[in-house]
Amino acid sequence: MAPVRPNALPWLAVSVAVIVLDQLTKMWVLGSLPEYTAIPVIDGFWNWYRTYNTGAAFSFLSDAGGWQKYFFVVLAVAISGLLGWWLARTPRRDWKSALPYALVIGGALGNVIDRLMHGHVVDFIQWYWRDHYWPAFNVADSAIVAGAIGIALFGLFSKPAATVAQRR
């Protein structure tokens, strides 16, 4: 029988932390911030701004008529499942793979909860400079972006195990 190697599934604790933080901040937003009203945090750069997104990044498909909610739920669950499967095959010590996967899973599922509970995603962080406004986002979106950047960076700059083994 082959020895069992510890996998990276415990990194799902990071996903759970992202989901909890995301949902707690959205509860605060829904209970405390007025809709569509900028509340300055750092004047000239950052506002709290409660808004809603029925689409995906940058409001992609936001005016599609409602079917996009189910499409994005299925897509997020499928991607999270795939990343979870990869986590199960990733060595636990490989944080450069595990952490980004866990961040994307947590962010994707945090936004799924919004879509299922509210029919849209609650966004509330707004950055801007002069008259240039970045689309509002939330903790889940931040985790997805950080995870995707980690996947891209560590994937680009990591040496494949086979290449390292061949050089020895």
Is 131 annotated in the active site? no
What's the start-to-end Cα distance of the chain, in Å?
A: 28
Give me the phi and psi of 20, to 5 degrees please: -60, -50
Give me the phi and psi of 67, to 5 degrees please: -65, -25
Is 141 annotated in the active site? yes
Catalytic: which of 63, 94, 114, 141? 141
Q: Which tokens go with 75?
A: 């897509």
* Residue 56 · residue 140 · CB < 8 Å: no
Catalytic: which of 63, 94, 114, 123? 123
Q: How far is CA 8 from the centre of its chain?
A: 18
Give the residue numbers annotated as catalytic, written as ranges: 123, 141
